[in-house]
Structures are given as C-alpha cells and as structure tokens.
C-alpha cells in the first residue's frame, strides 16, 4: 500500500522539513529588513561547537543537553560579536564573520579530537542533518495521524519543531505592530515607548531557538538557506509586509516539499540508482526559487539602481 509506505518513510521527514523551514523563514523576514540575515548564518554555525561541548560534558546526545549547549553557544557568539563590534570598532558583518567561522572551526577540531565514534555526531550530520532517518515505523497509514499510540512514536523532532514554530508564530503575531515600527524606524519606536532594543534582542533569541531546533533535525545548510531565501524571494513579490510574510511561508513549504521529492526521485528519473541529500536539495530549491524571483518577481525592479 503506497499510503502506508509514504506515511512510514516520507511523511515525517517532509513534515520536519516543512516545520524547520517555516520556523526559520518567518523570523527571516525581520532579519532581512533589519539587514541582519547573517546572524542566522552565524548562529547556525556556532551550534556545532555548542553541541560538541554539551556532548563532552554530558556524555549523551539526548535532546536537552544538545539544546542547552547550542543555546549557550549562540549566546556566547552574540555577546562576542557585540564585543568585537564595540571594541574593534568594525561593522557587524565583519564581526559576525570572524566569530562564527572561528567558533565553527573550533567545533570541527573539537569533534575530530573527541571520541564520538559511538554516537551519531559528525561534521556531515552537522551540515545536512539526518532528515532521511526520521522515519515513523509504527505508522500503518494516514489513519495513524489520529492514533495517539502511533503518534507518540513519531520522531520527537516533529513535536519539538511544532512547538518552536508555534512560539515563532505567536511572537510575530503578538508583537506585530511594535516589531514593524521598531524595524522601520527605531528612534521613533523608542520615542513612543516601544522597547525596540529588547524586541531586537528577542528576535535574535527566537532566531537562535529556531536555528537550534531545526539544526538537530535538518542540519545547518537548510537553516542558513531558510533564514534568507524565502524572505528574500518574498520581498521581490510584494511591497506589503503582511503579504511578504505569507509569501515567505509559501516559499518555505514549497522548497521543503519539492526539495524532498526531488532528492528522492530526481536521480532515479535521470537513470541513477541513488538518492541525494534531502536537506541539501531543499536548500538548493529555495535558492533556485530566489533566482527565478530575481528574474521575474513583480517587484524586482526595486533592486535596480535608482536616481
């Protein structure tokens, strides 16, 4: 039965891909408008040393120590970026570049030197996750979605990402007007009593949470791509912030679904007998969609030099 096979093997990886993409793409809209997209890149890189250190301390790769280590590393990175910016008096892009590459490199060295052969923790995993392994064996078909016993055996990443996505959506919905005003005109926002700097910090914290949760399931490639590509594509489609956020969600879902299917079936259709990394294909698709929008998006003329 095709339904059962799909639900067992493909539904959960696809769902995880969609949830992770959405959780990153939605805050990505605000990062893009604040010219902070690189912070998503930075955070997803520093997650690696964070989880390695967490593993070395706790000796396990259980979710909570990993999350804690990753969040700690994200916090350290944000503070160090601020410090480099302030004391080195250089612009934030350069400060981020310096910090996240060094921390990522440190993580790679640490990983190489420590004994992680017994656990599934390696550089490949860090880059493109283990999406294909998130199968749902206890599923017997679509009906299992309504079966609590079967649901409880779903890979835990699904539930975690669902909670994180709900948090992201709630944050953006509740603080919508203040976020919009603070992003457009910080001085004005402060003058009318919006805690603009606190909101900016909350946005970065939310970015870190989304990055850490998504990283565990899908690796850093997709996290980096989804913070930037759907939002950047959406910006080329509209001049309205609400519409932009909705478009970014559409592009995130399309990239995840199309990416997963192409990774599984495209090589077969071309006559090769292997599949390619689903996470890698999802990120590639999101980039291709951005490329198409650059050529044909209705608001692309915006990016032409203006007089």
Partner 1 sequence: MSDVELIARDGDRVGRKDPECPLAIDGLTVSYGDKPAVFSVDTRFGKGRMVAIVGPNGAGKSTLMKAVLGIVPKLAGRALFFGEPFESVRSRVAYVPQRASVDWDFPVRVIDVVLMGLYRSLGIFGMTSKKDIAKAHACLERVGMADFARRQIGQLSGGQQQRVFLARALAQDADLYLLDEPLAGVDAATERAIMSVLKDLKSEGRTVVCVHHDLATVRSYFDDVLLINVRKIADGPVASAFNDRNLQQTYGGRLGATHIAELQQPAG
Contacting positions for partner 1 (CB under 8 A)? 33, 173-174, 176-178, 180-181, 183-185, 187-188, 190-194, 235, 238-241, 244, 302
Minimum CB–partner distance for residue 186 and partner 1 (Å): 8
Which residue lies nearer to partner 1 by CB, 145 or 192?
A: 192
3-state SS, residue 93: helix
Pairwise CA distance, residues 281 & 293, whole Å: 18
Q: For 266, how many CA atoms within 13 A lie in the half-sphere containing its CB?
A: 12
Give me the least distance between CB of 94 and partner 1, in Å please.
20
Q: Can you tell me which residue has the tokens 């490949």?
A: 124
Write down the least CB distance from residue 179 to partner 1, Å: 10
* Closest CB to partner 1 among residues 140, 186: 186
| Nearest distance from C-beta of residue 187 to partner 1, angstroms | 4
Is 75 exposed, middle or buried (CB count within 10 Å of its CB: 0-12, 13-18, 19+)?
Answer: middle
Residue 156 CB coordination number (10 Å): 13
Q: Indicate the residue among 20 and 234 with the shorter CB distance to partner 1.
A: 234
In the three-class reduction of DSSP (H, G, I as helix; E, B as strand; rest coil), residue 213 is classed as helix
In the complex with partner 1, the residue whose CB is nearer, 117 or 187, is 187
Separation between Cα atoms, residue 191 and residue 2, nearest integer Å: 60
* Residue whose CB is less far from partner 1, 112 or 239: 239
Q: Left, alpha or beta for 95 (phi > 0: left; psi -120 to 50: alpha)? A: alpha
- Smallest separation, CB 251 to partner 1 (Å): 15
Burial class of 87 by CB neighbour count within 10 A (0 to 12, 13 to 18, 19+): exposed
Cβ of residue 90: shortest distance to partner 1, in angstroms? Answer: 15
Encoding tokens for residue 132? 């294909």
Residues ≥6 apart with Cβ < 8 Å to 116: 52, 55, 122
Is the CB of 201 or the CB of 265 nearer to partner 1? 201
């Amino acid at each position: 039965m095709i339904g059962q096979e799909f639900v067992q093997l493909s539904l959960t990886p696809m769902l995880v891909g969609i949830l992770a993409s959405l959780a990153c793409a939605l805050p990505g809209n605000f990062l893009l408008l604040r010219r902070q997209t690189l912070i998503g890149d930075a955070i997803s890189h520093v997650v690696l040393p964070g989880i390695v250190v967490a593993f070395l301390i706790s000796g396990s790769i259980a979710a909570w120590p990993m999350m804690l280590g990753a969040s700690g590393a994200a916090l350290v990175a944000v503070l160090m970026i601020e410090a480099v910016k302030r004391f080195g008096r250089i612009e934030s892009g350069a400060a981020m570049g310096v910090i996240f590459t060094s921390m990522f490199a440190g993580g790679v060295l640490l990983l190489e030197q420590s004994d992680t052969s017994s656990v599934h923790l390696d550089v490949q995993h860090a880059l493109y996750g283990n999406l294909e392994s998130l199968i749902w064996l206890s599923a017997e078909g679509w009906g299992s979605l309504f079966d609590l016993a079967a649901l409880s055996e779903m890979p835990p990443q699904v539930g975690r990402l669902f909670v994180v996505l709900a948090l992201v959506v709630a944050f953006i919905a509740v603080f919508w007007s203040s976020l919009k005003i603070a992003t457009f005109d910080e001085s004005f926002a402060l003058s009318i009593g919006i805690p603009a700097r606190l909101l900016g910090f909350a946005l970065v914290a939310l970015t870190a949470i989304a990055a850490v949760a998504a990283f565990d399931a899908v690796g850093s490639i997709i996290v980096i791509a989804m913070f930037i590509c759907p939002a950047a594509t959406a910006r080329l489609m509209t001049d309205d912030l609400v519409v932009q956020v909705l478009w970014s969600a559409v592009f995130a879902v399309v990239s995840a679904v199309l990416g997963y299917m192409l990774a599984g079936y495209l090589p077969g259709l071309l006559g090769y007998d292997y599949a390619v990394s689903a996470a890698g294909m999802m990120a590639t698709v999101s980039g291709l969609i951005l490329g198409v929008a650059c050529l044909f998006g209705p608001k692309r003329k915006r990016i032409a030099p203006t007089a």
